[in-house]
Amino acid sequence: MRAFDIAWAVLKSDIPPYGFNEEDAHEHMISMGADETTLDAFWDGRYSEQYHPEYPIHGTAMVNERELMGSLRRRYGYDERDAALQYMQGNLNDNPVVVFIDRHGEQYLIDGHHRSAAHHIAGKEGIPTVVLREGDAA
């Protein structure tokens, strides 16, 4: 293993485990107007990663409670939606949301829409987030 790879692994050890479906993230970015250069940077991994424990909640996640509960019902079923909401509001450090910032400063919430909305409805202004910033990769 190269020295850079070892150093990068140590640096990333401060970032909580996170994951996202790259194809879903790509579709979210397209629907929000990402250009081809930004999409290429995302797919090629040309971005840095940084963890923020209280990153401002992204504007696209600011929905009302009725919208969120309807979405949770469709995803988890009527009987499980309340439990899903409580889990999302209480366990975000286990799975932070993911925001991609392009070279122009445009932000794309690519994973964590429900978690962000749950925090917003709970009255919180920040949320644990992994920020992927285009062009800063070493």
Please give the torsion angle defined by the CA atoms of residues 91, 92, 96 and 98, in that order, rounded to the nearest 10 degrees.
Answer: 130
What proportions of the chain, in percent to the nearest 5, are helix, strand and coil? Answer: 50, 20, 30
39-62 as b/e: b if 16+ CB within 10 A: eebbeeebbebbeeeebebbeebe
> What was the pLDDT predicted at 67?
82
Whether 74 has a pLDDT exceeding 70, the answer reads yes
Count of other CB atoms within 10 angstroms of residue 102:
21
Strands 107-111 and 126-134: unpaired
Flag whether 11 is in a domain.
no
Asked if 37 and 109 count as a contact pair (C-beta separation under 8 A), the reply is: no
User: For the segment 16-53, what is each residue's pLDDT rounded down to a tens digit?
Assistant: 566 677 888 888 788 888 899 988 998 888 898 888 88
Provide Rg for the chain, Cα atoms.
Answer: 16
| Domain membership flag for residue 2 | no
pLDDT at 4 over 60: no
For residue 95, what are the domain limits? 23-134
CATH number at 80 reads 3.90.1530
* 10, part of any domain: no
pLDDT of residue 133: 93
In a domain, 92, yes or no: yes
Distance CA 95, CA 114 (A): 12
Q: Report pLDDT for 16.
A: 59
pLDDT computed for residue 1 by the predictor: 47
Please indicate, yes or no, if residue 99 is contained in any of the structural domains.
Answer: yes
Query: Which has more pLDDT, 42 or 64?
Result: 42
Domain assignment present for residue 61? The answer is yes
Q: Which has the higher per-residue pLDDT, 138 or 126?
A: 126
Residue 127 lies in a domain: yes
Spatial contact of 69 and 123, defined as CB atoms under 8 Å apart? no
**What is the number of structural domains in the chain?**
1
Give the chain's length. Answer: 138
For 84-100, what is each residue's pLDDT tens digit? 888 877 765 567 888 99
In a domain, residue 18? The reply is no
pLDDT above 90 coverage of the chain, percent: 9
